[in-house]
Amino acid sequence: MPELPEVETTVRALRRSILHKKIKSASASAHQLFENKQLFKTIGAILRGDTFISIGRHGKYLIFLLKSGRVMLAHMKMTGHFLVRDKRQETSNKDKYIRFMIDFADGGALLFSDLRKFGRIWLMPKSHLGKFFQQRRLAKDALSSGFTEEYLHTQLISPRPVKSLLLDQTRIAGLGNIYSDEVLWTSRIHPLRKGSSLTEAEVKRIFKAIGAILKLGIKTGGSSIRDYRKPDGSPGYFQTKRRVYQRGGEPCPRCGAKIKRIVIAQRGTHFCPRCQNL
């Protein structure tokens, strides 16, 4: 599933390629993308003639601001990713999982590919954006200025396992399964430790690891372990940097002990039993 680094990588690439281009047409082939089913039928007429003037992100949500004052939000969910192409027909022939496409007046196109059809797209006035995130109780973004060590400490005061807390988007926006495992390994914290049992020094280690791991994820273009690709179609390579995620049975790169896999919050979780003792 695309996490903060994959979304940020996508945002940066789209800023370079589709800003200020006039939208010629838009269409969707999967109604599952829209909570508002009417939008499935009308999004082409609504977007026609408009222009993206900025592209941002909060957690795992992409935020496309339009010249008209509307906002198009997108969540790539499990298997979704955006692609940018000069010739839409060539891309369509190669990728049968294109579910949404925007054609630009200059002949280019923005496409959303999603094997599982779990991705979501919303369209709303800019003034509704705050309420949208409030309704979902979306927390502070893990790379925002408001995400401080003190804030993290308040979000980890809970009897729940720390791995579960890191995955909770109402506590920290942006972290997912891959980067949470890497953060906890870097911090030497067992994923089953109760959040409320963490010392101030341990929270500090987790805070530093979150920033370092997410920035490395962005630098390497994200993780292309399964479906994710960058908008130009190329893979990211953070998967070559991961230390524990999906490395069950392999030696820990720090101490040599065998990495273990358990399930926490219905997610496969990987850790070193020696470096991250409970």
* Residue 123 and residue 70 in contact, taking contact as beta carbons nearer than 8 Å: yes
Q: Is 60 a catalytic residue?
A: yes
Beta bridge partners of 73: 63, 122
DSSP label at 235? -
Unique residue bearing structure tokens 């200025």: 145
Report the 10 Å Cβ neighbour count for 40: 18
Catalytic residue, candidates 2, 5, 191, 231: 2
* Nearest alpha-carbon partner for 4 in 125, 131, 166, 152: 166
Catalytic residue, candidates 12, 267, 273, 274: 267
Catalytic residue, candidates 3, 6, 8, 182: 3
Beta bridge partners of 111: 83, 101
Q: Is 3 a catalytic residue?
A: yes
Q: Is 241 a catalytic residue?
A: no
* Residue 133 and residue 126 in contact, taking contact as beta carbons nearer than 8 Å: no
The dihedral over CA atoms of 223, 228, 233, 237, expressed in degrees to the nearest 10, equals: 10
Q: Is 67 a catalytic residue?
A: no
Residue 253's Cβ-side half-sphere holds a number of Cα atoms within 13 Å equal to 10
CA dist 147 and 150 (Å) reads 8
The backbone torsions φ and ψ at residue 141, rounded to the nearest 5 degrees and listed phi first, read -65, 140
How many helices and strands, by DSSP H and E, does the chain display?
Answer: 8, 10
CA dist 179 and 242 (Å) reads 9
* Nearest alpha-carbon partner for 7 in 244, 174, 205, 210: 174
Catalytic residue, candidates 60, 85, 140, 229: 60
Amino acid at 173: A
Catalytic residue IDs: 2-3, 60, 267
